[in-house]
A and B are shown apart, each in its own frame.
Chain A
C-alpha cells in the first residue's frame, strides 16, 4: 500500500526519495523544493493539516540537522512524513511553511528555540519556550540535560534574590523507569545509582 503510494508521489515529484519508516509513508525532500512540494500536497493531494514540525540532531553526522514535518489528510485519513536535511550544520536553516499552514508558526518557533534551526521567511521567529535572551538550544545533542549556567532572565530579580540559572543537580539521574516489567516494579530510578546527593560521584 505504502509503496504504491510512494510511487504515485514520485511520479509527480521526481526529487523525492523514499525514507525508512516504521509506520506511515515517509519521504526525503531537498530543502529548496519543500515549499513547492507542500503547496502541491496541500492544494492538490488533500494534505490539509500540518500536525507537527520538529527536527533531528544527528550529532557528529553530516548533515547534522534534519527537519521533520508530519502532514495529515483529513479526507483520505493518511499521514505523510517529510524529512528535509539542512545543508549547513553550523547555521542550519530551512524554508518556513508559515505561508502555507498557519500551524507552522508556533511549531517552527519551538523548533528554532530548542534546536536552533532558522526558518527563512518566518514572520516572527522568536523563542517560544525559553526566554528571549537564552543563549543555547537545549534539545541539541551537545547540550547537557542539567543545563548550563546562565544569567537569570530578569536583572532586577537576579539582583534582589541572587538567583542564577544553574545546572540542575543530576545526582545520578536522569530518573527513568525501565520499559520492562510491571509498573509496580519499574518506579523511576536514577540511571546511575553509584552516586547521589549524599554520596560523591566516583571518579573513574
Chain B
C-alpha cells in the first residue's frame, strides 16, 4: 500500500494502524479478485495457461476462477463474442454481484478482431462496461497477468465508500438483495 493510504509509526500509534476506509476495502477487494472465465474462443487457451502452473495467476491473488457468475466479480471475456453469444455474456454479467469488473482479453473481445462479419459483435464494450482491454491475438498469459495487475491498481483507486452509499441510495429492494456482498 502507498504511504497516502496508511500512516504508521510504532512509537506514536503503538498497535494501532491509521488508514482510510477506501484503502482497506480496496486492499481487500483487489487481492481477492474472483474471475469468471468467459472463454469463448482461442484466447481462452491462453487464459487457461495463465491459470496453470507455469504462469500461475495465483501469485497475484486471483486464481479462484468461478464458473458461476454468483461467485465471481471479474469477468474475463476471452474470445470472439458472436451476436448470438452476446446475449449470454450480458446476462452472466448482470448475474454477477456488485462490485464487478470486466476484462476484454484479445482483439476479438476488444474490437471484434479479425472477424469483421455479420456474425460478430464488434467489441464486447457494446454490451458490458470494460475496465481493461488486452491487445493481442491471442495475448500471452503475461499480458493477461499485466492486465489483471492493472485492474488491481484500478480497484485500488476506486472511491469504494462513496460508491457504497451512492449505490445504496437509489436502487430498488430487489437489487439490494444482491448487494449484500459489498459491505
Contacts and interface: CB of A to CB of B under 8 A. Distances in A.
Interface stretch (A4-12, A28-36, A68-76, A164-172): A164-172
Pairs A-B, 5 closest by C-beta atoms? A147-B118, A154-B87, A168-B116, A157-B90, A161-B127
A163 to B, nearest CB: 5
Contacts of B118: 136, 138, 143-148, 165, 167-168
Interface in B106-144: 112, 114-122, 126-128
B116 A146 contact: yes
Contacts of B84: 129-131, 153
Contacts of B87: 152-154, 157
A13 interface: no
Interface residues of B, number: 19
B112 A168 contact: yes
Nearest to B128: A161
B122 A157 contact: no
A95 interface: no
A145 B117 CA distance: 6
B86 interface: yes
A154 B126 CA distance: 14
Contacts of A129: 84, 119
Chain B binding surface, main DSSP class: loop
B92 to A, nearest CB: 11
A99 interface: no
20 contacts: A129-B84, A129-B119, A131-B84, A138-B118, A138-B119, A145-B117, A145-B118, A153-B86, A154-B90, A157-B90, A157-B91, A161-B126, A161-B127, A163-B86, A167-B118, A168-B112, A168-B118, A168-B122, A171-B116, A175-B114
B119 A147 contact: yes
A130 B119 contact: yes
B8 interface: no
Given A152-B83, A188-B114, A166 B122 contact: yes
Q: Give the interface centre of B86, B90, B118, B128 by most chain A CB atoms within 10 Å.
A: B118
Nearest to A155: B87
A108 B118 CA distance: 21
A166 B126 CA distance: 11
B75 to A, nearest CB: 15
A121 interface: no
